[in-house]
Amino acid sequence: MRKTVINALKKPFTAVLIALVIGFAVGAITLAAGGYDPGRGYGLLFTGIFSSTRRMMQVLVNAVPIIMTGLAVSFAGKTGLFNIGADGQFILGQISGAVLGYYVPLPPLLHPIFILLSAFAIGGMYATFAAYLKNRFGIHEVISTIMLNWIAYYFMNFIVNMKSVKVPGTQHSPEIRDTAKITFYSREFRITPEGEALLERRPWLESFVRTDAGYAIIVMVAMALLLWILLKYTRIGFELRAVGYNYYAAEFSAMPVKRNALLSMFISGGTAALGGAMLVMSTAHFISMLGASEGYGWDGISVALIAGNNPIGCIFAGLLFSGLKLGGAEIQSRMGAPTEIINIMIGALVLCIAFAPALPRLANRLEGRK
């Protein structure tokens, strides 16, 4: 029995499982302390996620932005950099999607590709500036990317408030052109006789027609696979990971550590910006004045931590995040419980997973007490 426990503690999956159990236990205690029935609350939570294919598709749609920022943070983390500026890079992606989606008329297929490539380049260059400051002046990327977040935040409000951009009588930009949208079915199509007829013939398409599902999901999965392959199977990926494992050993081995830092932040920032652009192109369709950060980049940090900086793991961690948030909304609407309870649960999950590296050490200590 003792040997089984020790072997289980050495496995990464054990840390995630323990974190899930503790996180849900904390959520149950919080619900009970607030005077709500934990059993009914969790029933509504899972009903809100799994009650229909449409709701499950909505979980996936909502997960795309935080998976993209999670990928951005995890890629930088694998290479020894802490890109806390994913939120600002995501915002620049939103700006790129809204401005290029409305002011640059292009054919349907070319338009989304142009926006995505432009957003990736803009977000990548923005993040690379933080790597340059670290290489040239020794300024830590955490400090510089936090400041760059604020610059992006206020720059977005500046853009939206421009007379040539702002829609009169509103606090947002014009809606992007139809050629820039990347949903499988437009919102207008859902209420047309053709849309209703399609659902009557093929009811299994409801989860695609009734939600903002689109090519953003395909791009997200492709990016996760691409980053995973890049890190695991390429020479440049090996060099990037080597810098992350031991900066000075990589430098002593004559690896171009400064150049790799620039490349890593470019890819990381571009990935986050892709998420922002795809949010505008699939769901929002315009950008609005921000009273506070929307939090996609900060959620991405938690997603990367839960995933252990694994690009494939970010997909599942992002789905977990998205499902908890959607289910939390169900708890709020049906029980009147505040959504802060879900935030407490997520916080407990992240905190427990942060202690995951201590479990193998605990296993080794138990093994040494034979």
Integer Cα distance of 9 and 362 in angstroms: 8
Helix residue ranges per DSSP H, 34-81 = 38-50, 53-78
What's the DSSP call for residue 270? H
Separation of CA 334 from chain center: 27
Element (H, E) at 343: helix 340-354
**Beta-bridge partners for 172:** 288
* Mean pLDDT on 50-78: 93
| Cβ-based neighbours of 16, under 8 Å, separated by 6 or more | 306, 353, 356
Q: Which percentage of the chain shows pLDDT scores above 90?
A: 50
If one counts every other C-beta atom within 10 angstroms of the C-beta of residue 65, the result is 31
**Residue whose structure tokens are 């708890």:** 331
| Cβ-based neighbours of 3, under 8 Å, separated by 6 or more | none
Q: 173 falls in which pLDDT band (50, 70, 90)?
A: very high
Separation of CA 328 from chain center: 18
**Residue whose structure tokens are 């302390």:** 33
Terminal C-alpha separation, the chain:
13
User: Given this model, what pLDDT does residue 114 score?
Assistant: 97
Integer Cα distance of 279 and 90 in angstroms: 9
Give the SS3 label for residue 36. coil
Question: What does the pLDDT look like over 103-131, one tens digit per residue?
Answer: 999 999 999 999 999 999 999 999 999 99
- Crossing angle for the helix pair 257-279 and 296-306, to the nearest 10 degrees: 120
* Mean pLDDT on 66-92: 95
Evaluate if residue 246 carries a pLDDT over 90: no
Separation of CA 183 from chain center: 19
Element (H, E) at 127: helix 110-137
Q: Give me the long-range contacts of 359-362 (CB less than 8 A, separation at least 24).
A: 359/9, 359/10, 359/14, 359/15, 359/18, 360/9, 360/10, 362/9
Evaluate if residue 36 carries a pLDDT over 60: yes
| Chain mean pLDDT for the chain | 87
User: Given this model, what pLDDT does residue 252 score?
Assistant: 65
Evaluate if residue 167 carries a pLDDT over 70: yes
| Contact by Cβ (8 Å): 183, 280 | no
Q: Which of 62-71, 165-174, 182-191, 208-217 has the lowest mean pLDDT?
A: 182-191
One-letter amino acid for residue 273 of the chain: A
How many CA atoms lie within 13 Å of 250's alpha carbon, on the beta-carbon side? 21
Integer Cα distance of 260 and 310 in angstroms: 19
Q: Does the predicted model carry a pTM greater than 0.85? A: yes
CATH topology of domain 53-323: ABC transporter involved in vitamin B12 uptake, BtuC (1.10.3470)
Integer Cα distance of 290 and 360 in angstroms: 43
Domain map (residue ranges) of the chain? 1-36+337-370, 53-323
User: Given this model, what pLDDT does residue 223 score?
Assistant: 97
Give the SS3 label for residue 183. strand
User: Given this model, what pLDDT does residue 34 score?
Assistant: 81
User: Given this model, what pLDDT does residue 28 score?
Assistant: 85
Integer Cα distance of 263 and 240 in angstroms: 9
Evaluate if residue 20 carries a pLDDT over 70: yes
- Greater confidence (337 vs 252) lies with 337
